[in-house]
Amino acid sequence: MKNPRIKRSLIPLASLFATSILLFGCGGTANTLSQAENTKVKVEYFANNALGNSLAVVQHPAGIHKNGITYVSYQGPLEDPYVASYNHDSGQWLGPFKAGISELGKDAEQPKKIDNHGKPTMIIDDLGYIHVFFGGHGGDKRHGKNPLGNIHYGGNKHAVSKRPYDITEWEELDNITPFGTYNQAVKMDNGDIYLFYRHGAHRSDWVYQKSTDHGRTFGPAVSFLKHKKRKDIAADDSWYAWVTKGHGDDIIISYDYHVCWNHKANNGRGHTTERHNVYYMVFNTKTGEWKNVNGKALQLPVTKEAADIHTLVASTGKDWTFNGSAHLDENGYPHIGINIGKDLGAKTGGPKQTSYFKWTGSQWVGGKPVNTQARLDNTDTRGDFMIKSSNEVSFILGYKEQEQAILSYFNSTDGGNTFVKGQELLRKQKAGWALTALIENAHPDARMIVAEKPQGSSWNKVYLIGDNGPIMRDKSQADVLTLKDKQRLENYK
């Protein structure tokens, strides 16, 4: 176990501005307003300096509601993590503040593009300190040999607030391995913190590290999903997992299988994002046992062969998948959202629609798209869902209708057999969405963090979305993107 070593203090991003503010729209045009005029304007977004694919369902929690305040995080300029907060009682925003310095977005040796894998994951420990994990895409040669897989770029990092519930100043702790990406953090009822991630690039095990001292030290990485070479084709077994707290001492895991093709294989296509199937298993943190949905014990790390026999929810055949999320109902039965679509020949396959599965106590059922119109329109959907009861399920989905990006509820009252479009939360022209999993312990006014990705720009506006739509903010506070940030991105690209 490594002892934490504070590496440096990080200077917060100022959230107050000079008398005149240069405002940049989605298309890059500029307007100048006086501070007095600008303060009177309310906007739907809380920040406009999110970068690239600045949010994702897999890196979670990205936001937490605690003591009447919602804390949110996202990927900002130079791929660094940024944190803001909203006080629901006072209606006041704070931040965003830079919470750490990522190794991504700055290295001249990495590809000249936005990496997007180092988005922050957040947890608040039992003492009130806020933690973010960020910056990893498998580690690189500077970090040495990866014992559990291969490497790519960046380095997994961990920063913590200097004071409880205070996002203004941060310090970095050197207590996790740099070989990580897709961080997911879980805090148990006894205060133990589990950090799950892929231990490297595609050809790597999925692992967890455990902390029993509020994230100040972490134990060694433990593999729970095994990567290995296939014998039948020129590819490796690989995985994408989604992890969250279950009931009591349990952590639940849904995942899909990635066929990690060699670069010169796959009928000449090389490596693609090809993934298949849906799987589910449970980790009892008190006993240390891993089991399938029927309670059968599993041996770690779980291999493809064992997963197919013991943890398979559904085989998707030739259809490709993109992993979603999982939640439990009042009976402790799991429900899973997974994105499924056709392989249309591109590196990323075809559009994928969010589909829904659930465990009845004896079998897995479901598999139909939640938004049936999106399937007819051949467009992607992404999102997360809430379970009010075993029969009442509500998804928040982002999708597109022609040139419009829409965020809307889709509700079922018949156990997921059918879903009906409910309240529309946001609609934007000529844009796409990046969005998170549901905010942990979410306030009804702040369910999800959503980034608007305008056509022709790498800069996103970020929204805090709840049952009444986005939480508004003064434009003078929300417009934090600077000319320097824009110029640095252009120089890097």
| 176 in Cβ contact with 158 (< 8 Å) | yes
The single residue listed with the structure tokens 């998804």 is: 395
Q: Write the DSSP symbol of residue 377.
A: H
What's the Cα-to-Cα distance from 264 to each of 74, 234, 258, rounded to whole Å? 35, 9, 17
The residue type of 491 is: N
CB burial class (10 A; 0-12, 13-18, 19+) of residue 420? Answer: exposed
What's the Cα-to-Cα distance from 232 to each of 16, 150, 261, 445, rounded to whole Å? 60, 21, 12, 51
Q: What tokens were used for 383?
A: 């999102």
What's the Cα-to-Cα distance from 2 to each of 126, 155, 191, 210, rounded to whole Å? 21, 17, 19, 12
What residues are paired with 218 via a beta bridge?
Answer: none
Query: How far is it between the farthest Cα atoms of the chain?
Result: 68
| 390 in Cβ contact with 330 (< 8 Å) | yes
Q: What is the rounded distance in angstroms from the CA atom of residue 305 to the CA atom of residue 421?
A: 39
The residue type of 397 is: L
Q: What tokens were used for 321?
A: 């998948």
DSSP letters spanning 180-212: -EEEEEEE-TTS-EEEEEESSSSSB-EEEEEES
Catalytic residues: 117, 182
Q: What tokens were used for 489?
A: 């991105």
What residues are paired with 229 via a beta bridge?
Answer: 236
Q: What tokens were used for 355?
A: 């589909």
What residues are paired with 466 via a beta bridge?
Answer: 469
The residue type of 379 is: T
